[in-house]
Structure 1
Amino acid sequence: MTTEQPTIQPQPRVRACPFDPPEEYRTVRELEAITQMTLLDGEPGWVVTRYEDVRAVLTDPRFSSGGRRLGDGTEDGVTPPPPPGFFIAVDPPEHTRFRRLLTKQFTVRRMKQLTPSVEPFVTERLDAMARAEVPVDLVREFALPVPSLVICELLGVPYADREEFQQNSARMISLTAGPEGNRAAHEAMRAHILRLVRDKRAGPTDDILGELVQSGELTDEELAGVGSLLLIAGHETTANMIALGTMCLLQNPEQLAALRADPTLMDGAVEELLRYLSIVQYGVRRNALEDVELHGHLIKAGSPVVASLASGNRDAAPFPDDPDRLDLMRKYAPHLAFGHGVHQCLGQQLARVEMKAALGALFDRFPTLRLAVPPEDVPVRTDMIVYGVHELPVTW
């Protein structure tokens, strides 16, 4: 006689509104602090949806960025180690070794000093848009080129290589490319950066990769991993925030009018867009290193736990004034868009600088900017780990 196992609902992916997380997260958040779901890879796991629980999981050393994982097809249930330099998938003290080297490259002061360098890139792309025939795809013509130009300049990656690395990074975070497609794209990206690293070792350059090479603290293989991560994160996330943020503001004309009337709102507007849109849409995964009890549930060692950033950012506890409403004048509270804990996004200050420069200049240059298609016809990226829009046709 066999006993039927209870059905576990899949991690939700369907959105009723392009700016809101799937409705199931609200239901789960209000009813349970933690729930079992079938995760994106088909493995059963746990999902935490409340703000404080997300923060707790992301700072608890019992939950690993790598660590042991059950059901992954390996003989002993142990996840193979990540590629060299893939520092987001390792824990302290190994993570600390990379983070220490990189933090000084991305200080708040250094990123703020970049603003005069970012503005010419923004102006160049706006000039190109102005010359183009409308409608224009804002993603292709503006949102993607600006952060790509900036991160190429910072890292010392030729911008001429952008088509190759943009295609590879898109395949790496695709949910439809399959494990083999993801892996092939990752290997191609690493090989690309490895060639650059070896060139920089032969002839030093004044950029982040060049400085890391000259530090002598990382191997070429580690530098290839670090460079790949920085290149992907440095354009994918910000590009999608610029495009989706633009669409969101166009669909909230009162909020956009307030921002245009008072540009000093821009700092708060960027933080609110980051909170409200939360483009790391399927959360941050951790694996339990030991048995952990959380809200009366036993999470077995090796079990995966997903901390839902998007759900935590819609929790009424830290955001009591209608968290499901975009409010550019909302009183600031620390959001989770960049994660939390030791793995919090390294380039968050760079993203802020780019978003402020891009959004401010875009709406100044094109005061009559509007969507060129109905909002329901804009293709959204539910098929990618990083949310956003595949295209954003606009006119003015």
Structure 2
Amino acid sequence: MTNAQWFMLIGGLLLAMGLTSSLLKRSAVTSAMIYLAVGFLCGPTVLNLFHFNPLKESALLEVLTEVAVLISLFSAGVKMPVPFTLARWRGPILLATVSMGLTVGMVAAFAYFVLGLPLGAGVLLGAIVAPTDPVLATDVQVRHPGDRDLLRFNLTCEAGMNDGSAFPFVVLGMGLLGLHGLGDWGLRWVLVDVLWATLSGIAIGVLAGVALARLSAMLRRAPYEHDLMDDFLGLGLIGVVYGVSVLVDAWGFLAVFFAAVALRQTELRLAKAEQPQPQRPALQTGEVAQAGADTGTVVPTVSMGSLVFKEHLERLSEVVLVLLVGGSLFLNSWSWEAVAVALFLFVIARPLSVWVALLGVGTTLRMKGMTGWFGVRGIGSLYYLMYAIQHGLPEPLALQLVQITLIVVTLSILLHGISVKPMMGRFWRSA
């Protein structure tokens, strides 16, 4: 396709989605399903107007997916309810660690014993498809900072954290394939890739988020009273936190998510501390930060000022990347191996791992069932795969993992997209 044709395709798709957004909300399909269908129609399977080869374009796709995930993680982080409590976050933490590890292990065993892949490739495949996605799962995620729905909170918080907790398993799989140093008896992997990278990533994110919240609040108060560019500050926080994390071998995805969480939580605590009158209901729900008891004026914050812009960027990245996924598929992409991995992941590995992880948490069976089903896979999985390819994954193995990952993402878009509105609607009515 020529540049002009690409402009026409993307522009026409954006116009169509903008004009029919209200109809789409009432329909049984999601926006990702439409983008996937358009990519499939224009791709090599039907019209053959273009063919996107993820293996040849792995460097480009790595950057695109990396940026998309970072923006989505920031958006998810600033919508986390306030205040932070360990009791409330216990479930998502268990999902991002215990459930993640069990899913990786089960997929790795399936790939090793059923598909005949090397153990390292099985672990790598498990790490690629195990984490849930913060980009494509908008229909099951927290909608705004005042959203108190426990199911949406668990799914959003899990997606924010497991994009970082998947990385140790990614490098473990690469290490078993000889592409990454694990050290004697795996000691380097445990100390550096698990403990250091995780804890330092969280620490960098929290410190940066708190620092920006306090600095921006100070500059907005007298005697400075500066007007700040919240969109730039949000993007700048993402860039600095992620860059510093990469330089010190910390997991940048975790750092960006916790930077957004710390930013929002600190901003609201500062606004509450400045109120001489009892806390307003809006602040109790975490929907707005307010200062100035005499005027009731809503004080702008970096988190809220940049959220709308980040969500628009997130939607644009969804259009482009899902369109490319559809344009990457051939009819022979639907191998029995790829479909088997997807079904095993959705029907067995994910639900079972969620059930085990939430034992003793007091979660209802209905909540466990919904959490186990709506583990949407998407852009994050593509990023981990491109990361492995860019770090020397052999081409024959890379082709096999590309085929499996594309089908997992495609089936997730279709199966979870078809079921999300009726199942979530029934769940909320019964609740």
Q: Shorter-chain-normalised TM-score: which range?
A: 0.3 to 0.5
Report the TM-score, using the length of structure 2 for normalisation.
0.30
Which of the pair has the greater relative contact order for Cα pairs under 8 Å at 6+ separation? 2
